[in-house]
Amino acid sequence: MNFIKRVLSTVTGIFVFLFICFGFLIVLGLVLGSSNEAVVTVKPNTVLDLKLDFPIRDYAGKTEFKQYAFLNEDEKNGLFNIIDAINYAATDSNIKGISIDNNFIKAGISQTKALRDALIKFKESGKFITAYADIYTQKDYYLSSVADTIFINPAGLMEFKGLYSEQLYFKDFQEKSGLKMEVVRFGKYKSAVEPFLENEMSPANREQVEAFLNSIWAEVKNEISVSRGISKDDLNNIADSLLARTPKLALKSKLVDRVGYHDEYISGLKQAVGVPESQDLNMISIEDYAVHTATELLTNYSKNKIAVLYAEGEIIYGEGDKGVVGQGSMNRSLKKAREDDNIKAIVLRINSPGGSALASELIWREIELTKQVKPVIVSMGDLAASGGYYIACNADKIYAEPTTITGSIGVFGVLPNGHKLISDLGINAEQVATNKNAVTYSFFEPLDDNQRAFIKEGIVDIYELFTTRVANGRGKLQDEIKAIAQGRVWTGIDALANGLVDELGGLDKAIAYAAEQADLNDYMLKEFPVYKKDLEKILSDLGIAETKESILKEELGEDAYWVLQEIKSLSKKEGVQLLFPYSTEIK
């Protein structure tokens, strides 16, 4: 009897626990849902606060939870939601101007350029743009240089020194640790695996890094020159000699207009808007205003639609998610857009360093099927390299930003090998096989010549397929593509010159061209993909995964954590890879 009581008690406890958890999820869903649906009001004489200190993705993402629909998400803080909000603010009589205030912007160079272009267009309305910072990072200043008046704190700092990129090399680390990466690559410039083979940068890799950094710096410098009325030579001199490193030097170099405190900056905004000093200034955050803009734009209904599909992040074989491109969600979205009679054209927005060769090929195939039915136009963001270029190459037209990094038409395979590590620990692995080539790869044994030859054969086959896809998509001979391939990366400007892209411009130009091809005068945009989630992912999104990440960052520090993630990411890659050669961080 006591046993039965204990069993019933345990079962009851489990049910109560599950009921409480379910109730918590419902309450949380109602809270989140009500916050998303809250009406954002804009008061008269309001300043739009363009504070961009959150991670900016091209696509904020739309998520549907399989079990709990009330947890569905449709965020409006993506890059193009922000650009829509800036464009809408130009016509909103309640918005008097824009304030760019202490950003520390978390966006790529091409994303920053797209925001900058939107701000330049905003200025045509006659409304003001002002900027203030305690510390201007180089990217912050690039964005803020469009402002009519630029403030800096008297005790502040400015970074204006040119660009650089840093690559870690692990050859000696492998020897010391006993954990080695078996590498097979094809392409003179395919440098993603170079850190495992060398202790220093190869001349070929240095050549391409210098080329794309100089190209991007030239674009940044040219645009700042136009906005600030400072010659490009003078800007180079300022960067070379660090003549803007202090507020006084920045003022003397004409990179800023005023040295003052934040309260003085706010007083200046009040004066510009016509608000008495004794009253509070009406300000609205860009995130709230983007929600308001999205609601307003929904009233501009049209039956005709242009689909915008976002391929953002590394390409993996699988479903995909925010920040990760999978053929599952991409191909489902392409098929849905292809079969929807109201969708007249498709724009594929790519911001990806590439990844899985197989997944890239599967997405390429779905694009090939889709463009037989409707126009498919590509817009490239910060990156459309390697596998990211693979899924772009057969589009009807390709647009890239001048600062886009693309190309990297090459292939590599990498397999972790722990033979020395386990040998040093006194462990030996023995294999028994029925056939000569049954053991194609073992973590515990180095690759023999026969195994390496088979892997290289597969690499070469994929390289031949890759260059064939590009040649057919771009209307060129395969030998012409091979001459600019071998894993070399190019900026958008250089890619235009060598025929890898058709025109320079952002997503707006790609959409306009898609509308032209579909002969549309009025249309709405419909965004894809919609990500599918289950209960396990809900628990992850509630903070379990983030807690682990935050603990590691706190214990190791940001830089050490980044090194750990780089090693971990490379060690997990399976199969043949079409991946951008190195870290995408430009400093």
Give the single-character DSSP code of 106: B
Residue tagged active-site, from 144, 379, 386, 408: 386
The stretch 222-233 carries a mean pLDDT of: 98
Asked if pLDDT for residue 329 goes beyond 90, the answer is yes
Give the pairing type, strands 73-74 and 62-65: antiparallel
SS (H, E, C) 261-312: CHHHHHHHHHHHHCCCCCCCCEEEEHHHHHHHHHHHHCCCCCCCEEEEEEEE
Q: Where are the domains of the chain?
A: 48-161+242-294, 302-535+574-579
Residues 6+ apart with CB under 8 A from 68: 25, 29, 535, 538
Most confident of 64-78, 357-371, 570-584: 357-371
Which residue(s) pair with 316 in the sheet?
326
pTM over 0.95: no
Residue 296 CA to chain centroid, in angstroms? Answer: 27
pLDDT of residue 558: 61
Does the active-site annotation cover 190?
yes
Tens digit of each residue's pLDDT (9 = 90 or more) over 143-164: 999 999 999 999 999 999 999 9
pLDDT of residue 147: 98
Residue tagged active-site, from 76, 127, 180, 190: 190
**Are 235 and 138 spatial neighbours (Cβ–Cβ below 8 Å)?**
no
Asked if pLDDT for residue 7 goes beyond 50, the answer is no
Long-range CB contacts for residues 68-71, cutoff 8 Å, separation at least 24: 68/25, 68/29, 68/535, 68/538, 70/26, 70/29, 70/30, 70/33, 71/25, 71/28, 71/29, 71/32, 71/33, 71/538
Domain 48-161+242-294, second-level architecture: Alpha-Beta Complex (3.90)
Asked if pLDDT for residue 33 goes beyond 50, the answer is no
Does the active-site annotation cover 386?
yes
**Are 406 and 110 spatial neighbours (Cβ–Cβ below 8 Å)?**
no
Give which of 533, 102, 198, 401 is closest to 206, Cα–Cα.
Answer: 198
- Asked if the peptide bond before residue 247 counts as cis, ω within 30 degrees of 0, the response is no
Asked if pLDDT for residue 3 goes beyond 50, the answer is no
**36-40, 265-269, 479-483, 505-509: least confident range:** 36-40
Average pLDDT, the chain: 88
CATH number for the domain whose boundaries are 302-535+574-579 = 3.90.226.10
pLDDT of residue 70: 65
Asked if pLDDT for residue 495 goes beyond 70, the answer is yes
Of the chain, the percentage scoring pLDDT greater than 90 comes to 65
The stretch 210-234 carries a mean pLDDT of: 97
pLDDT interval class at 37 (50, 70, 90): very low
Establish whether domains 48-161+242-294 and 302-535+574-579 are of one fold.
yes
pLDDT of residue 175: 87
Tens digit of each residue's pLDDT (9 = 90 or more) over 385-419: 999 999 999 999 999 999 999 999 988 888 888 98
